[in-house]
């Protein structure tokens, strides 16, 4: 284990060859932990035509960039990508690997961990590190989100974890004067047994961009009826924001799962998050941990959401929310 050094962030790319946001978000905790233990931060990019992503990650304070650029990696394939990263790890011996908990990351992470005979902590919401042992303290919701568990991997390297998008903020700190660029020539030796034949885009309106939203107004069971989400939408529209919801509202069939914020929904980090009629279960709070400002509107002064809120309004949401919407619209009209 003494041979394992440096922290890697696996940077996923999109169809245009640009870095997916979560990879850039992970540079923030990656830089902090690497500095704490006196090691280097590397971005690892695999794909076909990765120059755009390569230039993007330079602005996030990386010490080095490792790339594999080959046509065989154009479309994600579990077997092919696992083979590539396994070869990289065995050559360079990283200490820590961070992966975004996207559909790709959730598929890839366990396969790599199994291949390398190490542990994987999935869906982390907090990251810290012991500067003496260099053990990462991975924190994630456990037992249905009813408590937060801290997990260590002291006996195996590399230490691996997936982190949900939106947990950390993107913070471009500028490129270092000297960046170690390693372009690896790795190809897949076996037969590619599965291939993507076509991409079918989602229909417009089917997906909700909660992760990228600056303003989110979420409604919960306190709305009492699905039709009352109209007042949530009115306030969101006034702010130029997005409609979110609690799991309880989704489970009740009041709104689609694409709007759900929380452990089993989306982890978000908006400038302002307004929780309307949401009690504040730990699963929901885990999803809004990265929000800059939280405003809670609830008639129950003992609701757990107020413990997380920066501002709280105790009152009838059917009176408070329309007045708030009206005030914002008047301010915009001035």
At 239-256, the pLDDT tens digits run 999 999 999 999 999 999
Using the predicted structure, report yes or no on whether residue 216 has a pLDDT greater than 80: yes
At 290-333, the pLDDT tens digits run 889 999 999 999 999 999 999 999 999 999 999 999 999 999 88
Task: Report how far residue 114's alpha carbon sits from residue 116's, in angstroms, rounded to the nearest whole number.
Answer: 5
pLDDT band per the 50, 70, 90 thresholds, residue 195: confident
CATH superfamily for domain 7-184: HUPs (3.40.50.620)
pLDDT: which is higher, 161 or 146:
161
Same fold, 7-184 and 215-333: yes
Burial class (CB in 10 A: 0-12, 13-18, 19+), 164: buried
**126-140, 153-167, 195-209 — which is least confidently predicted?**
195-209
At 125-143, the pLDDT tens digits run 889 999 999 999 999 877 7
List alpha helices for the chain, DSSP H.
21-25, 27-36, 51-58, 78-92, 103-116, 229-239, 247-251, 282-287, 305-308, 317-333
Q: Domain coordinates of the chain in residue numbers?
A: 7-184, 215-333
Please name which of 217, 224, 319 lies closest in space to residue 276, comparing C-alpha atoms.
217
pLDDT band per the 50, 70, 90 thresholds, residue 63: very high
Provide the terminal-to-terminal Cα distance of the chain, rounded to the nearest Å. 64
Note whether 28 and 170 are within 8 A (CB): yes
Q: What is the pLDDT of residue 169?
A: 84
Q: What is the pLDDT of residue 287?
A: 87
CATH class of 215-333: alpha beta
């Amino acid at each position: 284990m003494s041979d394992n050094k440096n922290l890697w962030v696996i940077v996923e790319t999109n169809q245009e060859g640009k870095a997916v946001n979560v990879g850039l978000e992970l540079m923030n905790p990656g830089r902090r932990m690497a500095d704490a233990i006196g090691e280097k931060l590397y971005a690892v990019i695999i794909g076909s035509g990765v120059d755009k992503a390569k230039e993007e990650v330079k602005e996030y304070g990386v010490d080095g960039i490792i790339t594999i650029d080959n046509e065989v990696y154009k479309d994600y394939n579990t077997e092919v990508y696992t083979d590539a990263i396994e070869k990289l790890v065995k050559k360079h011996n990283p200490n820590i690997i961070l992966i975004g908990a996207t559909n790709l990351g959730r598929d890839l992470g366990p396969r790599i961990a199994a291949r390398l005979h190490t542990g994987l902590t999935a869906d982390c919401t907090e990251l810290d590190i012991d500067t003496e042992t260099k053990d990462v303290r991975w924190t994630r919701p456990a037992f249905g989100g009813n408590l937060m568990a801290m997990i260590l991997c002291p006996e195996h390297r590399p230490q691996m974890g997936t982190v949900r998008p939106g947990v950390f903020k993107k913070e471009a700190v500028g490129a270092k004067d000297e960046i170690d660029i390693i372009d690896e020539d790795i190809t897949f030796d076996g037969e590619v047994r599965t291939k993507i034949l076509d991409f079918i885009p989602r229909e417009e309106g089917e997906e909700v961009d909660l992760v990228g939203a600056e303003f989110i107004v979420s409604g919960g069971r306190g709305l009492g009826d699905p039709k009352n989400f109209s007042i949530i939408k009115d306030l969101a529209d006034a702010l130029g924001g997005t409609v979110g919801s609690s799991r309880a509202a989704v489970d009740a069939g009041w709104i689609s799962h694409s709007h759900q914020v929380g452990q089993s929904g989306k982890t978000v980090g908006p400038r302002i998050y307004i929780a309307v009629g949401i009690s504040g279960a730990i699963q929901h709070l885990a999803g809004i941990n990265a929000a800059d400002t939280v405003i809670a509107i609830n008639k129950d002064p003992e609701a757990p959401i107020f413990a997380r809120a920066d501002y709280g309004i105790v009152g009838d949401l059917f009176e408070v929310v329309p007045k708030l919407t009206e005030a914002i619209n008047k301010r915009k009209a001035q």
